[in-house]
Amino acid sequence: MKKILFTLLFCTSLFAQAPFTTDNLKNLRLHIINKTKFIDKKQELEIKALAMKKLKAVGIVFDKVDSSTFMIKIESLKVDKSYAVNVQVAVAEEVTSKREEKIETLAFTYFSNDLIDTQEPLVETLESINFLIDGFIELYLEDRK
């Protein structure tokens, strides 16, 4: 069963990313979903502080009215002596569809993930979070040009 789940997680990470945009994104609300046993509440707060510091450094403001949600989601599965860790970074926003009947809904306007197999889950998860946030910041700065 664990092998099937690991294979499924691996396969989902192989799909190419769709194009995303951060145009007109000015303020965020940060939300962390931690579904691991190796990250405690104190470490969650440290991750949140690190993410906010990096994002504030490029001009993003936090917790204003109608903020979009910047989500960091961490899931893990222990397989023998190692861990399969899936780290996701996403921005969710309220959007209106362009269909005939306009539908207001919540959509991911940015999504990126990293799947790692590690025996040092905390260290490599923190590296992955930094990598994914840096990728978001790169797109954010590129969209500002």
Other CB atoms within 10 A of residue 85 CB: 24
| Angle in degrees, CA 26, 30, 35, rounded to 5 | 150
What's the Cα-to-Cα distance from 69 to each of 10, 92, 103, rounded to whole Å? 26, 5, 19
Under the banding of pLDDT at 50, 70 and 90, the label for residue 85 is very high
Please state the rounded mean pLDDT for residues 33-40: 96
Among the residue ranges 16-20, 45-49, 126-130, 133-137, the one predicted with the least confidence is: 16-20
Q: Is 100 helix (H, G, I), strand (E, B) or coil?
A: coil
DSSP tag of 60: -
- For residue range 20-30, what is the model confidence (pLDDT) as tens digits? 777 788 899 99
Q: Is 119 helix (H, G, I), strand (E, B) or coil?
A: coil
pLDDT at residue number 98:
82
Helix (H) / strand (E) containing 83: strand 82-96
What's the Cα-to-Cα distance from 77 to each of 1, 36, 98, rounded to whole Å? 11, 8, 39
